[in-house]
Amino acid sequence: MVCLGLLAPFLLGNLLLRFFLVRNDAAGKMLRLSLSGGLGLGLTSCAFFLWRYFGGVDPYAYARGESVTAFLLLLIGFYLARKNNDNDEPLSFNVNPRNTSGEIPPLSGEVRRGGLSLSPPLAPPERARTLAVAFGAVMLLALAGFVTHYLSRPHGHWDAWMNWNLRARFLFLGGADWRDGFSSAVASSQPDYPLLVQASVARLWAFGQTEATPTLAGALVAAVFTFSTPFVLLSVFACAGRWGRGLVAGILAIGARLYLDEGVGQCADVPLSFFMLATLAWCVPHSLRSRFEDKPSNVIPAEAGIQEGESTPAPPDSRLRGNDESEIFRAGHAVFPAGIFCALAAWTKNEGMVFALCTASVLFAFMWKTAGVKQAAKSCGLFAIAALPVALVVVLFKLRIAPVNEIVARQGGEQLLQQFLTPSRYWLTFSAIIKHIAIFGRGLLPLAVGYFFLCRSVRFNPALIVVILTLCCYFMVYIATPLELSWHLNTSLDRLLVQLWPVFLLGLGWDKSVAKADCC
């Protein structure tokens, strides 16, 4: 039954993504699959919280209701998706299929209503398959590490049982008194943190009809996010034809031991990193193509089409107009899912709210710079509309359930001012951040920077700017913290770096050009 509790959100997430991402090649399918579980868990956790908030008492009744609703939605959704596919069957083509030198990738694509749609290579090139084996081996080792550590510490890390799984117990077992868990009487356990992870765990218990295996649900939720994230990175790069780069990025993401350890620890940092990555993945130029593009950036008018067997086409760069930076975030198909994922980041942790503000600001600025203020306002308006339903749930929780945040509640304005006027706090925080960054991933971070520099992909882009801006916000929170600063830095900084790690890798590999070498 716990599996049903995972299957329903996975199918719902997949169905929803079908409306935004209709690429049916290997990369597109992998991206959809890797995003589905997290999206579904996020949305169903909102539903579970709302059901609790509006008076639901019996979690088993919720599970039955959600099962029936999910079944009906899936029936309707798959009917609509099928109908849509039948009406818009594309005519596929492939030009220069024998060119395997890697210099100019074979050009392939689809003819749809309105024009010709070009796609990057659909499958990993031959030489990238060695990397795929390495990726699989590292993933298997990570899975073994996950299982062994789960068995030795089934309740997760300190923070997991003290905060996330504790609230899950209140949500699931608390009956009409579930709000007791958010009382400030429960000292120092962050009762103001949003409920995505907690509600997901409680929801899985409801599906399991028992709390007899209390730790399994938490571990399953953690596993979904931990192992989806490398596949999201891989498939985002693969969508742009960069299988090699995607595989290396995936290995880097899961290869950082701290990342895996936080994942098996059942804290919310890895789920947050998933939603951060998923938000920005939709903004990568040329990677995600859909029939819902309002300005189809990658479409060439049908009359300008290429005949099969034609001599080597012009370099793909000049044809894939979607590579242009101004296309970032313009199309409606990217704005909507990005908005939903961004709001889910805010529903995961307080840091997600900081990320949401940073992301919205950066994307607005990029749009303004590249496409003008009107287009920027339009895109960000759509982004806000997409984020609104989940954002309302967050606001409801913050206003009606959550107590005041510990950092805010513990100090007055005068003390806060004094913290900001103490230079030693800045130096202590700065040096701690540099130190933790230097040892992050036990050497993987400098290797990652070196690899992407050699691939000539590193330059300023929205993902990197979001990472830097979010890190600056975290820096200021440390300056303001009423807790003992060294203790606060030592106990939380690593987790903050884990949150930003996959987005950082996306930012490093963010590149508008088409693949030139199999390892890049």
Partner 1 sequence: MRLNRETAIKIIVILIVMVAALSHVRYVKKGLQDFPYTSPDDTTIHDTRFAALRQARLDGKIAGVVGFITEPSYEDRKRSTSYRRTQYAAAPLLVKDSVDQELIVGDFPSGVPVLPAGRDYELLETCPGQVYLYRRKEMSVADTKNIPVIIPAPAELPAVKVGVSENR
| Site of interaction with partner 1 (CB under 8 A) | 131, 134, 137-138, 141-142, 144-145, 147-149, 151-155, 161-162, 165-166, 169-170, 173-175, 177-178, 180-181, 183, 185-187, 189, 214, 248, 251-252, 254-257, 260-261, 441-444, 447-448, 450-451, 454-455, 517, 519-520
Helices (H), 88-125: none
Q: Which is nearer to partner 1, 254 or 343 (CB)?
A: 254
Label residue 357 exposed, middle or buried (CB < 10 Å: 0-12, 13-18, 19+): middle
Label residue 76 exposed, middle or buried (CB < 10 Å: 0-12, 13-18, 19+): exposed
- DSSP state at residue 115: E
- DSSP state at residue 126: T
**Residue in this structure with the two tokens 């849509």, named with its chain if needed:** 84
Q: Which is nearer to partner 1, 389 or 450 (CB)?
A: 450
Q: Which is nearer to partner 1, 240 or 455 (CB)?
A: 455
The nearest distance, CB 419 to partner 1, in angstroms, is 24
The nearest distance, CB 443 to partner 1, in angstroms, is 5
**Residue in this structure with the two tokens 């599996």, named with its chain if needed:** 3
Q: Which is nearer to partner 1, 97 or 443 (CB)?
A: 443
Q: Which is nearer to partner 1, 131 or 380 (CB)?
A: 131
Q: Which long-range CB contacts under 8 A does 409-418 form with residues at least 24 apart?
A: 410/482, 410/483, 411/482, 415/482, 416/480
Four-residue CA torsion sign, 149, 151, 154, 158: negative
Q: What is the largest CA-CA distance in the chain?
A: 75
The nearest distance, CB 436 to partner 1, in angstroms, is 17
The nearest distance, CB 141 to partner 1, in angstroms, is 4
Q: Which is nearer to partner 1, 202 or 362 (CB)?
A: 202
The nearest distance, CB 210 to partner 1, in angstroms, is 12
Q: Which is nearer to partner 1, 161 or 474 (CB)?
A: 161
Nearest to 175 by CA among 62, 268, 64: 62
The pair of three-digit structure tokens given for residue 122, joined into one six-digit string: 């659909």
Kindly compute the dihedral angle of the four CA atoms of residues 437, 439, 443, 448, in this order, to the nearest 10 degrees: -10
Q: Which is nearer to partner 1, 372 or 450 (CB)?
A: 450
CB 450 within 8 A of CB 458: no
In whole angstroms, what separates CA 378 from the centre of its chain?
Answer: 23
The nearest distance, CB 107 to partner 1, in angstroms, is 23
What is the rounded CA–CA span in Å between residue 120 and residue 105? Answer: 8
What is the rounded CA–CA span in Å between residue 18 and residue 333? Answer: 11
The nearest distance, CB 203 to partner 1, in angstroms, is 16
The nearest distance, CB 450 to partner 1, in angstroms, is 5
